Chains A and B, each alone.
Chain A
C-alpha cells in the first residue's frame, strides 16, 4: 500500500437533513447558520495557513457535505486552494447522500475539482434503510450510484452497513451482490454499532431492536471479505475494499499511516505528528470562536505515538515493522502465538494481519504494551 507522505486536510460540514438513528457524528439540521459556519471555517483555515507546505488530499466529510449548494462548496474549495498548497494530483473527496444526487450536482462537483465521491448507500434494502432512519430508499440509492458512476469520475466509493438488527446473512449477501453489480471503485463495510446518545442505542436498550449474535456478525464480516476479494477487491483495511491499489482511500490512509492531518470545522481532529487537538462539538461555540476554542489537546509521547502506529498499522494490509512490533511485546514468543492463531503473518520483515487478524485487531493490539 502506497500513500502520499503529504498531510491531508479534512473539513467537517456539520449539517444533515435529518439525523440517522445510528449516527453519533456531530451534525445539526440544515439551517440558516450555513453562512456563519462558512465564515468561521474560513477564519479557522486562515489561522492554520502554515500547518504544512503542501497537502496531498482534501476531504469534505460530515455531516452531509452534499447538503451544501454548489456555490458554497465552490467558495470553500476556492478558499482552501488559495490558503493552502495542494499537490497537483491531490485526492479531493466529498461525502454525498443519495437524496442529494442529480446529474447536474455531480457535474458541478467535478467542475469544482472533486475527483472522488463517497456515497452513503448503507444498504440496498428498504427495510434496512428504514430502520437506520436514512433519508433515501433502495431505488434512490441505486439511481444515485448509477449517476455517480456514469459521471466519468472513475473513483466512487460506497458505504455499506451490516449486522443491521434483523438483517440476515442472506440479506447481507444480497447487498454485497448489488454492490458488486455496480462495480464501484471502493467499498467500505461497517458493522453497525450501537453508540451512546443515538436513537438506535436507546431502542436497543429498551429491547425494541436486537443485534445479531456475535457469530452472525463475524460470519457477515467474513462473507464480505470473501465475496469482495473473490471479485477482485483488495481488502486493505479492516472495513475498506478497493478495486486495485490506486483506488484505495488516500486520505483515510493518512489516519492509519499516522501522517499529519489538519481538521477544520466543529468536532474535527488534527494531528501534526506530535500533538493532537480537536474542536469542540458545538456549532454555536465554533462559530463564536472560529475554532480557537479547543475541545481538547494532547501531546503524545514517543511511546504513545509508536503504540498508535502499531494498532493502526495492524488494521491495514501493510501491517507494521517486525522490529517495532518486537519492542512492544512483553515476550517475543507472542508473535509465534499470534501467528499460530492464524491472526498474523510475517511478510518481508513486516507483521501483517490475516483476514481473521482483521476480525480480531483489537484483541491483537492488546498484546502490545504501551510504554511511557
Chain B
C-alpha cells in the first residue's frame, strides 16, 4: 500500500491552520530550531505583515508513525479568508483528505461550512480538528455540537489540539496516516497530471505545481499541455520542502513541481492537464470551476510604464493567482488599461500590493464597482461592471443590482448603531438572534455595492473592533439606479463615475466631491469639482489655487531636509495621473469609497 498521504488544512480565517502546519514541520524536524519562526509557510511579505495566509503552500513532510512506518505527507496549507477561497478549491484537487480546523472558542463559521462543502464535492475524507483548546474561552462541547448540527459530521471523530501549545499534534498526524486514504499509485499507465498552481521565474519560465494522478515524469520527458496542445521538454522536476528540491522523478500520488522551459506565460493554464507528448488517447481532467468575480476595478499604468508592460505584469501575476479575471479596457481620461475582477476587496487590495512589490509596476486603480444588470427598452439584457458603460438613461427599462445576505456578529450593546448603519446602507429584511451571552448575529439583505465601500471600516469603528462580518451572494433585485459623473476642472473624469441608488445620489455626489477636494493637491489655478447626473450638476466644491510655495532659506543644513521632503512628496506623486491640466492622485480615485456618515 502507498505510504503517501495528500491533505489540505482548511478552516475559517485565523482558526490556526498555518500554526498547525508549523507544529507538523517542527515535529518531523524539517527545519532547525534556529531557522524556525512562526507561520513558516506564510513566506510572502504581505502575509507576514497582515498575519494571514494569501497563497496555498505545499510542503512535503517525511513522517515516521508510532508503529515505526515511514510516510510521506504532502501538506497544503490554505488561506481562510473568503476572498482566497479559489486557492482552497484548487488545493483540494490535489488531495485525498482534509483537516477541517475549528477554533474552539469561535466555533463553526462561514468558511468552515463553505470549505467543508468544497471538500465533499471532491469526495475527500474529512478529519475534524478542534483547535485552540488551550484558550480560556474554549468551549469544546459547544463546538462539538456545532460540528454535528451545522456540519453534519460525527463529532466523536473530532480531535482536540492546540496548535499554539503543541498538545494533540501527534494524534492529528496519526489520524492523517490512519484515516486519509493513501494516494493511488498507478505507475504503469502513462502520465496524467493536474496543474493546480504556478509561478513565473524570469530565467526558467513557468514553475508548475501539479498533482501526478498516474504514471510518472522525469527530466528529459516530452510533455504536452493539453488545452493548447503545446509540447515541451521537461527540464526539472521536484518537490516542495520549504524550498524547491529537485528529484529524479515525480510519480503517481505525488505533489511537486515541473519546469519545462515554458516561457510563454499564457501557455500555462491552471486546471490544465499534462500528459506525455506521445499520448494520443487520454482525456483531460475536469480542471476547475470558473471563478465568479464580485467586485471590479480598472487599473491604468502611471509613470512611464506602458500598457504593454502592465499587461505583462498582470499575466505573470495571474499565473500565481488564478482567481483574477481581467480584460483590456480604456477610459477617456486615463487611457488604456484593464478591467479586473476580484473575489472581494481584500483580494483587490492584495492584487495591487503584489503588483507593485513583485512586479514593480505602479498603477492607478479606480473605485471598485459591482456588476449591475439592465433590461433595455428593446428587451435586451446587459450587464455592466464598469459605470463607464452605463446605458443610455432613456433606454433603460429596469435596473438590477446584486444583493447579499450579510451576517454580522456583534456584542449586543452595539445592536442599535449597527442597525442604523445597515439601514442607512439600504439594508432590508433584518433578522437577529443571540449566539451566546451578549453576542448577537444580525442577518440582513444588503446591496453588495453598499458594503464594498468602507462598510467594514465603519462596522469596526462602531463596534470598537468587536464586530465581524461575512456575506454571501443572494440575488439580483430591481432598484432605481442612476449614474453620477464627476467633473474635475470642468472635464468629466469617466474613471470616477459611480452607479448609485437615485435617493442616495446627491449625498454620495457631495461626499465624493468633498473627498476629491481633500485628495487633489492645490494647483496654480482654481479647480471646480462637480457631481452631475447627465447635464445636471447636483453637487459642487472648489479647490482654491495655490498662492505660494517656497522655503525662505536654503543653506548648508537645509538641503538634506529639503531633499528628503521632496523625495517623500515624489513618492506620493508617483501615484498621480494627469487628467487635463489636473494631477489626480490615486487616493482621489479611492476617495470615492469614503463616506462622512457618523
Mark A residues whose CB is within 8 Å of B. 10, 190-191, 193, 214-215, 217-218, 221, 238-239, 252, 255-256, 261, 263, 267-271, 276, 278, 298, 304, 307-308, 311-312, 315, 330-331, 337, 341, 343, 358-363, 365-366, 368-370
Q: Within the assembled complex, what's the spacing in Å between the Cα atoms of A112 and B204?
A: 73
Q: How far is the CA of A133 from the CA of B39 in the complex (A)?
A: 61
Say which residue of B547, B559, B569, B570 sits within 8 Å of A276 (CB atoms): B559
In contact, B557 and A311 (Cβ under 8 angstroms): no
Q: Confirm or deny: B187 has a beta carbon within 8 angstroms of a beta carbon on chain A.
A: no
Tell me if B524 is interfacial: C-beta within 8 Å of chain A: yes
Q: How far is the CA of A217 from the CA of B468 in the complex (A)?
A: 52
Inter-chain contact B552/A191, CB cutoff 8 Å: yes
Q: How far is the CA of A238 from the CA of B548 in the complex (A)?
A: 12
Supply 8 further A-B pairs (C-beta < 8 A) apart from A255-B555, A255-B559.
A238-B554, A255-B556, A276-B560, A360-B524, A360-B548, A362-B549, A363-B549, A366-B573
> In the bound complex, do residue A312 and residue B549 qualify as a contact, i.e. CB atoms below 8 Å apart?
no
Selected from B547, B566, B573, the residue in CB contact (under 8 A) with A311 is B566
Q: What CA separation (Å) do A343 and B559 show in the bound complex?
A: 22
- Determine the chain B residues whose CB is within 8 A of the CB of A270 once the complex forms: 556
Q: How far is the CA of A193 from the CA of B550 in the complex (A)?
A: 11
Cα A296 to Cα B550 with chains together (Å): 26
* B570 and A366 form a contact (CB under 8 A): yes
Q: Is the CB of B553 within 8 A of A369?
A: no
Across-interface contacts of B304 in A (CB, < 8 A): 330
With A276-B560, A360-B549 as contacts: A255 and B570 at CB distance below 8 Å: no
Q: How far is A319 from B546 in the complex, measured between Cα atoms in Å?
A: 22
Nearest-CB residue, chain A, relative to B578: A331
Rounded to whole angstroms, the CA-CA distance of A239 and B555 in the bound complex is 11
Contacts between the two chains (Cβ within 8 Å), count: 92
Whether B563 and A362, one on each chain, are in contact in the complex, defined by CB atoms closer than 8 angstroms, is no
A270 to B555, CA, bound (A): 11
Interface residues of B (CB under 8 A from A): 303-304, 524, 546-557, 559-560, 562-563, 566-567, 569-570, 573-574, 578, 581
Known: A341-B524, A366-B573, A370-B566. A308 touches B559 (CB 8 A): yes
CB distance from B161 to the nearest CB of A (A): 48
> By the criterion CB–CB under 8 Å, are A370 and B573 in contact?
no
A278 to chain B, nearest CB (A): 6
Q: Whose C-beta in chain B lies nearest to the C-beta of A364?
A: B549
B556: nearest chain-A partner, CB-CB: A269
List residues of chain B with CB within 8 A of the CB of A363. 524, 546, 549-550
Given the known A-B contacts A360-B524, A366-B570, A369-B570, are A218 and B557 also in contact in the complex, defined by CB atoms under 8 Å? no
Min CB gap A318→B, angstroms: 14
Chain B residues with CB below 8 A from A307, complex form: 563, 566-567
- Measured in the bound complex, the distance between the Cα atoms of B546 and A221 in whole Å is 15
Complex CA–CA separation, A255 to B555 (angstroms): 6
Task: Determine whether the beta carbon of B557 is less than 8 Å from that of A278.
Answer: yes
- Contacts A269-B557, A360-B524: A311 and B562 contacting too (C-beta < 8 A)? yes
Q: Which of B555, B570, B581 contacts A337 (CB 8 A)?
A: B581
| A140 CA to B427 CA, complexed, in Å | 75
A359 touches B548 (CB 8 A): yes
A343 to chain B: closest residue by CB: B524
Report which of A267, A365, A368 forms a contact with B557, defined as CB distance below 8 A. Answer: A267
Residue in contact with B556 in the complex, picked from A190, A217, A263, CB distance below 8 Å: A263
Closest 3 CB pairs between A and B?
A: A269-B556, A363-B549, A214-B547
Q: Which residues of B contact A315 (CB under 8 A)?
A: 554
Assess whether A365 is in contact with B555, with CB atoms less than 8 Å apart. no
Q: What are 8 inter-chain pairs, A to B, with CB distance below 8 A? A: A217-B548, A239-B552, A330-B304, A361-B550, A362-B551, A368-B570, A369-B570, A370-B566
- Residues on B with C-beta less than 8 A from A276 are 559-560
Taking CB atoms, residues of chain A closer than 8 Å to B560 are: 269, 276, 298
A327 to chain B, nearest CB (A): 12
Whether A361 pairs with B549 at a CB distance below 8 angstroms is yes
| A164 CB, min distance to chain B CBs, angstroms | 13
B524 to nearest A CB, angstroms? 5
Contacts of A298 in B (CB 8 A): 560
Measured CA separation A363–B569 after assembly (Å): 10
Chain B residues in 8 Å Cβ range of A337: 581
- Cross-chain contact B578 with A218 (CB below 8 angstroms): no
Q: Which residue of chain A is the closest to B571 with respect to CB atoms? A: A370
Note all chain A residues with C-beta closer than 8 A to B524: 341, 343, 360, 363
B559 and A370: CB pair below 8 A? no
Nearest A-chain residue to B303, judged by Cβ: A330
Picked from B552, B555, B569, the residue with its CB within 8 Å of the CB of A366 is B569
**Known A-B contacts A190-B553, A359-B550, A362-B551; A312 and B559 likewise in contact (beta carbons under 8 Å):** yes
User: Is the pair A252, B555 in contact by a Cβ cutoff of 8 Å?
Assistant: yes
Rounded to whole Å, the gap between the CB of B557 and the closest CB of chain A is: 5
Give Cα A279 to B61, complex, Å.
57
| A365 and B566 alpha carbons, distance in the complex (Å) | 7
> CA–CA, A277 to B333, complex, Å?
46
A261-B556, A330-B304 given as contacts; is B548 within 8 A of A214 (CB)? yes
Inside 8 A of A252's CB, which chain B residues have their CB? 555
A365 to B552 alpha-carbon distance, docked (Å):
14
Least CB distance from B541 to A in Å reads: 20
Residue of A nearest to B576 (CB): A330
Q: Kindly state the separation between the CA atoms of A10 and B569 in the bound complex, as whole angstroms.
A: 31
- Measured CB to CB, the nearest residue on chain B to A216 is B547
Q: Is B554 a contact of A218 with CB atoms below 8 Å?
A: no
The answer to whether B548 and A190 touch across the interface, beta carbons within 8 angstroms, is: no
Looking at the assembled complex, report how far the CB atom of A9 sits from the nearest CB atom of chain B, in whole angstroms: 12
- B556→A10 contact, CB < 8 A: yes
- CB A338 to nearest CB in B, in angstroms, measures 9
Question: CA–CA, A26 to B28, complex, Å?
Answer: 62
A221 engages B548 (CB within 8 Å): yes
A359 and B562 alpha carbons, distance in the complex (Å): 16
A263 to B560, CA, bound (A): 15
| Contact A362-B556, Cβ < 8 Å, known A341-B524, A370-B566 | no
B362 to chain A, nearest CB (A): 11
- Measured CA separation A82–B548 after assembly (Å): 46
Q: Which of B303, B524, B552 has the most CB of A within 10 A?
A: B552
Residue contact B570 to A370, C-beta cutoff 8 Å: yes
Contacts of A368 on B, CB cut-off 8 Å? Answer: 566, 570
Query: Are A304's CB and B563's CB within 8 A?
Result: yes
Contacts of B570 in A (CB 8 A): 366, 368-370
| A365: B residues at CB distance < 8 A | 566
Give chain B nearest CB distance to A371 CB in angstroms: 10
Q: Across the two chains, which residue of chain A brings its CB closest to B524?
A: A341
Chain B's closest residue to A239 (CB) is B552
B178 to chain A, nearest CB (A): 56
Whether B555 pairs with A215 at a CB distance below 8 angstroms is: no
B70 to chain A, nearest CB (A): 51
A331 to B574, CA, bound (A): 12
Say whether B550 contacts A370, CB under 8 Å.
Answer: no
Report which residue of A217, A261, A315, A370 has the largest number of chain B beta carbons within 10 angstroms of its beta carbon: A370
Please determine whether B566 and A218 come into contact, CB atoms closer than 8 angstroms.
Answer: no
A228 to chain B, nearest CB (A): 16
Bound CA–CA A360/B550 (angstroms): 5
Closest A residue, CB atoms, query B522: A363
Scoring B303, B524, B567, B573 by chain A CB atoms within 10 A of each residue's CB, the highest score goes to B524
B566 touches A271 (CB 8 A): no
Q: Which of B524, B553, B555, B556 has the largest count of A CB atoms less than 10 A from its CB?
A: B556
What's the least CB distance linking B559 to chain A, in Å?
6
| Chain A residues whose C-beta falls within 8 Å of the C-beta of B556 in the assembled complex | 10, 255, 261, 263, 268-271
> Are A369's CB and B548's CB within 8 A?
no
Residues of B within 8 A of A304 (CB): 563
The residue that A238 contacts in the complex, of B552, B569, B574, with Cβ under 8 A, is B552
Inside 8 A of A267's CB, which chain B residues have their CB?
557
Give the docked Cα–Cα distance between A272 and B578 (Å).
38
What residues of chain B lie closer than 8 Å to A239, measured between beta carbons? 552-553
**B563 and A311 contacting across the interface, CB-CB below 8 Å:** yes
Instruction: Name the CB-closest residue of A to B302.
Output: A330
